[in-house]
Amino acid sequence: AKIYRSAVNGDLVYVHVKYQNNPQDRGTASVDIYRVNDQGKITEHWDVNQDVPEKSANDNTMF
């Protein structure tokens, strides 16, 4: 996995990641969002995933 972006806003943390099983695989784009409590432990998790397409519809790539 390769992390492209991350940010913190209050008790929320987001991470933009590319998961790739092997170099020939185009991979999967993922955004994971975590809610963290006062002790630094994750209390909630949400994610959205999308396979990286062979061809982008525009010049704005996923990463």
Q: How many residues would you count in the chain?
A: 63
- pLDDT score recorded for residue 1: 94
Give pTM, 2 decimals. 0.86
pLDDT at 38: 97
**Looking at residue 19, what is its pLDDT?**
96
Using one digit for the tens of pLDDT, what is the confidence trace for 20-61?
999 899 999 999 999 999 999 999 999 999 999 999 889 988
Q: Which of 15, 20, 25 is nearest to 1 (CA)?
A: 20
**Which structure tokens are listed for 60?**
């704005």
The whole-number pLDDT of residue 57 equals: 87
Would you say 50 and 29 are in contact if contact means Cβ atoms under 8 Å apart? yes
Q: Is 20 helix (H, G, I), strand (E, B) or coil?
A: coil
